Amino acid sequence: MLDTNVLFLPLTAGFPLEAELARLVPGGRLVLPSSASDELDRLAVSGTPRAEAARRLAARLPREATAERGDAGIIDVARRLRATVVTADRELQDRLLALGIPVLVPRDRHRLERRDGRRAAASGNS
């Protein structure tokens, strides 16, 4: 699952996002939470550089609906889908890892690094 900020990486730094995702999660399915799509729309309307190009890139991805906004939307969808999240946002990374959700983090200008979430406390579900 992609956070909004990683959609800008191929546009601003020539980051090989799709190749790195294929390397780390072979056969994985990319998903964009509706909260990230909504954020891209707001950025494009406000004239943020490259936001329109990021929207075009995102248009190829299936959406997963969430009533939450921002990081809460990312967390909501990641929990429901048991998804790995790709994000450059350090605060969000820390929150996801604390919840036991794995994260892929951009490193250098050409690769992603996997960080596994800490095991969340047992909730009675197996």
pLDDT for position 123? 44
57-68 tens-digit pLDDT: 999 999 999 999
77-122 tens-digit pLDDT: 999 999 999 999 999 999 999 999 999 999 988 999 999 977 544 4
pTM of the predicted protein model: 0.88
pLDDT for position 126? 36
Please report, for the chain, the start and end positions of each structural domain, with discontinuous segments joined by +: 4-115
Domain 4-115 CATH (choose: 3.30.470.20, 3.40.50.150, 3.40.50.11290, 3.40.50.1010) = 3.40.50.1010
DSSP 8-state class, residue 61 = S
What is the phi/psi pair of residue 104, to 5°?
-105, 125
Higher pLDDT, 119 or 69: 69
The CB density around residue 17, as the number of other CB atoms within 10 Å, is 22
- The predicted model gives 34-47 an average pLDDT of 96
Q: Give the span between the Cα atoms of 13 and 110, in whole angstroms.
A: 9
